[in-house]
Amino acid sequence: MKLIALGLNHLTAPVSLREQVAFDDDATGSALRDLAQQPGVDEAMILSTCNRTELYVSVAAGAENVPQEWFNRHHHLTPGKLDEFLYRHDDEAAVRHVFRVATGLDSMVLGEPQILGQVKDAYQQARDASALKTPMDRLLQHTFAVAKRVRTDTRIGAHTVSVAFTAVRLAERVFTDLRQACVLLIGAGDTIELAVRHLAEKQVRRLIVANRTLENAQDLASRHGGYAIALHDLPQHLAEADIVIASTAARQPVLTRPMVEKAIAARRRKPMFMVDIAVPRDIEPAVGELDDVYLYGIDDLRQVIDDNLRSRENAAREADAIIDLQVERYMAWRRALTVKNPALDLRQHAETYRDEVLEKARAMIARGKSADEALAFLANTLTNKLLHHPSARLREAVLSGDHELLHAAGRLYGLDEDETAGTADE
């Protein structure tokens, strides 16, 4: 069977196309069952996230194009529409790809940890749909072990590389317990939403979302237990905020020095931490001159992010070295599946003899022979049957001087050379 990884991601396809070929969670199970039933398909798993949609499929010889043909049919796409956006990895390259995906090396944010949970969810969906067999099941178990080792042995996830998370992390340095902090977020775009999610996870005391369009602020705030205000109401609420994170599309600053001075006075000089991640800036630079304000701009965060990204890139090189080794180990196991195993043949041969002789021993007891006679017959006959062919071959080896076979037999049976030769001469 050939292992294929087929898909598209944030590097190869625009979001409009990624949306079109994404799999809904509720429909993934039926899609998996349909894919697994296609001619030549032996196993299947579907990984679908906001940044990627991938099929992992084991196919018989001659069925290599079946996954892509099914992909087009399932999404009602004309043949060839996805060709310039798709990538395909076969066998060893497919194994390396799933290892890199699960460890975050193929993510938009290098080393991000969420993708591992998404791969585990995809694995569970494939199991629930009975779309996996031993080879791919073993591959996914190996994948999880590789991801854990990369996280343990490298610093791939040690440093944050997103603007929103870096802003929240900086806030933690000023306010060691964010559960006691009131946070004011200005804007309602993607960066602010990510910041809100991180802050909600930190269980901040209060979230206030301010936006020019109040409905957008209300939508974001309601999803995270916050309070929404219109942008023109900022002066009335600014003094409440211990932390301010701003990211709007305004052409002029929305927070001026006089506004912040009044807020600081109302707070009785209690410090405020501010992060301005907008371009153009939302907070007047002069605000940073105030004694009780800690103001960080996008360039300040960018330096932190760039340093952290370089650290992750170094860790990524270490992770790739780990992955290269683990790819070879899995491929060696997979190749062994196609090799005829003489140990299995030997065991089956022995079990066949055992069953035949055991049946004869039972027949002796049924005819009135004693149990001792039957056991002696069983032991002697089974020993003679199992050792007849090896003894004959060893006797021939002694006569012909085939020392290589004699040494191999000694290793196989755990005997030294003298014992092996003695056995053969008997």
* 113 marked as binding residue: yes
The C-alpha atoms of residue 340 and residue 342 are separated, in whole angstroms, by 6
* 187 marked as binding residue: yes
* 72 marked as binding residue: no
* Phi, psi dihedral angles at 100 (to 5 degrees): -70, -35
* 285 marked as binding residue: no
The C-alpha atoms of residue 159 and residue 148 are separated, in whole angstroms, by 17
* 53 marked as binding residue: no
* 49 marked as binding residue: yes
Residue labelled with tokens 């067999």 = 133
Nearest to 283 by CA among 260, 257, 255: 255
* 135 marked as binding residue: no
Question: Among all residues, which ones are annotated catalytic?
Answer: 50
Between helix 403-413 and helix 371-400 the angle, nearest 10°, is: 150
* 318 marked as binding residue: no
* 189 marked as binding residue: yes
DSSP lists the bridge partners of residue 229 as 210
* 114 marked as binding residue: yes
* 252 marked as binding residue: no
Nearest to 53 by CA among 98, 87, 22, 10: 22
* 50 marked as binding residue: yes
* 104 marked as binding residue: no
How many residues appear in the chain?
426
Alpha-carbon radius of gyration of the chain: 34
* 7 marked as binding residue: no
Binding-site residue numbers are 49-52, 107, 112-114, 118, 187-192
Binding-site residue numbers for substrate are 49-52, 107, 112-114, 118
Binding-site residue numbers for NADP(+) are 187-192
